[in-house]
Chains A and B, each alone.
Chain A
Amino acid sequence: MSFVLYLINGISLGSVYAIIALGYTMVYGIAKMLNFAHGDVIMIGSYVSFITFSQMGVNPIVSVVMSMVVCTLLGVVIERVAYKPLRKATSPLAVLITAIGVSYFLQNAALLIFGANPVSFTSVVTLSPLKLAGGDLVISGTTIVTIVLCLIIMGCLMIFIKKTKAGQAMLAVSEDKDAAQLMGINVNATIALTFAIGSGLAAIAGVLLCSAYPTLTPYTGSMPGIKAFTAAVFGGIGSIPGALIGGILLGVIEILGRAYISSQLSDAIVFAVLIVVLLVKPSGILGKPMREKV
């Protein structure tokens, strides 16, 4: 019975990774850059939720929405101020290094504002645990909400891209920015929208993550950020279903590895699996093979 519990917890943790991975994969697919500050946006979102919900006692849903608004604005501002001026830079390294700089900037700004001491996050989920198999299997409310929310977000996002004009614009920009502009698509606005969506989702991921693992520090976002990036690469960067599969596999491997092999080695196992996957299929599980431009 404990295996089933580990599996469910793994799926839940993986769902959080998947939601974060969406931010990486969409930004990579559309702006062709790795936004390494994405993990730190999660941390900022968690602090917003901590202050409004745990300290001020705001309604949990309102608190999550406030956190989303702050993260969405933050994502758009980061793109506008730090990345957009570098879009035509000759070396793609310029924007990558800037992203790392933004990441440190956010961490240190949080240190300055919130201090280095960890704070204890109260779970925003009030749903009571689900008892199955005569009480042998207890699944926490947070776990259930996380998995369900992840599936809803994935579904909505796929419908958004398939059915709306803005979604179609994202597809066009991800394939060819210049050709997209010739169709009358506002490329800058489309990239800004991608950052807005990714960062808004990061806020949800942050709240869910801190509800399950309640210690919040200015560094909380960095490890899940790196793991979610790994999940995005694992599933095939640029692919939305890839982010879901990559995230969940990563979460399950991490939890099972921690339970059955070694709790200290769980991260090493996660990254070892990534290396193996990339050796066998360099473009990730659902990634499309790179095509050379003719």
Chain B
Amino acid sequence: MAMLEIENIEVFYGVIQAIKGISFQVNEGEVIALIGANGAGKTTTLQTITGMISPKKGSVIFNGTDITKIPGHKIVGMGMAHVPEGRRVFSQLSVLENLKMGAYTRKDKTEIEETLATVYKSFPRLEERKNQPAGTLSGGEQQMLAMGRALMSRPKLICMDEPSMGLSPILVDEIFNIITEISKAGTTVLLVEQNAKKALSIADRAYVLETGNIVLSGDAKELMNNEQIKKAYLGE
């Protein structure tokens, strides 16, 4: 059964239609990539899923529950985390305080400590800098913090928006390795990326968005060899 089902959603910003009726699904354990150019509607789609904006039409079903009308702050507790575009860490709070904020909806104190230990294991640099204000971290470290913070809620599904944005190629590799690790550890991943090559290399399946429509979809490896994709997104 699909973990996440998007059914025919339409999203408007005022009179401008950003999403023109798209449907797709994410199955448990998969890494799904949503690729496309600037303004294709990738971020809007993700924000609709995690309840930051509400669609005019269509529905979002998560683990069998229709969450379309559920207020955004309640969705985290249902097992869905969102790593927003541009990291959005709390820059004046320390790294540790940021991570604790990620566990805001949880009440199990000892288990939170366990999750913290696993997050530190995945991101040793966060532990080294746990008392430093998040605003003083480098871009790559902030990305790791944003991912660690999302993992603190122990999500079943983690949605990531442009995790590679503004990072050096070495850091991009590191971030994508970590995403693969997160997936191997049992968390389903929905990844929005402009870096199509990287995204397709780690994804199981992918959807290609163009001006609010899904124009292509399929197995990630197959899409990588698709002539259209090669031309438009892989720069070959």
Contacts and interface: CB of A to CB of B under 8 A. Distances in A.
Interface of A: 165, 168-169, 171-172, 175-176, 178-179, 181-187, 288, 291, 294
A224 to B, nearest CB: 30
Contact of B90 (A171, A181, A288, A291): A171
B121 interface: no
B46 to A, nearest CB: 11
Contact of A291 (B50, B72, B74, B91): B91
B72 A182 contact: yes
B48 to A, nearest CB: 14
B50 A182 contact: yes
A182 B82 contact: yes
Contacts of B82: 182
Nearest to A187: B73
B84 A179 contact: yes
B93 A171 contact: yes
B182 interface: no
A294 B88 CA distance: 10
B190 interface: no
Contacts of A186: 71, 73
Interface string B48-66: 0010100000000000000
Nearest to A294: B86
Interface of A is mostly: helix
Nearest to B150: A182
Q: What are the 10 tightest A-B residue pairs by CB atom distance, in nearest-first order?
A: A184-B76, A184-B105, A179-B88, A183-B104, A175-B90, A186-B73, A181-B72, A184-B104, A182-B82, A183-B101
Contacts of A181: 52, 72-73
9 contacts: A168-B101, A171-B92, A175-B91, A176-B90, A179-B84, A181-B72, A182-B150, A184-B104, A291-B135
A12 to B, nearest CB: 33
Interface size class of B (residues with CB under 8 A): 20 to 34
A200 to B, nearest CB: 24
A74 B154 CA distance: 39
Interface of B: 50, 52, 71-77, 81-82, 84, 86, 88-93, 97, 100-102, 104-105, 135, 149-150, 153
A176 B75 CA distance: 18
B90 A179 contact: yes
B157 to A, nearest CB: 13
Nearest to A179: B88
B104 A168 contact: yes
B31 to A, nearest CB: 21
B88 A183 contact: no
A169 B97 CA distance: 11
Given A178-B84, A294-B86, 9 more contacts: A168-B97, A172-B90, A175-B90, A178-B52, A182-B72, A182-B84, A183-B105, A185-B73, A185-B104
A176 B149 CA distance: 14
Given A179-B84, A181-B72, A184-B76, A165 B104 contact: yes
B159 to A, nearest CB: 10
A242 to B, nearest CB: 14
The listed residue with most B CB atoms (<10 A of its CB), out of A175, A182, A187, is A182
Contacts of B77: 184
A176 B82 CA distance: 14
Given A169-B104, A179-B84, A184 B74 contact: yes
Nearest to A176: B88
Contacts of B84: 178-179, 182
Contacts of B93: 171-172, 175
Contacts of A288: 92
A183 B102 contact: yes
Nearest to B139: A294
Contacts of A291: 91, 135
Contacts of A183: 76, 101-102, 104-105, 149, 153
B146 to A, nearest CB: 9
Contacts of A178: 52, 84, 88
A212 B88 CA distance: 47
A60 B93 CA distance: 41
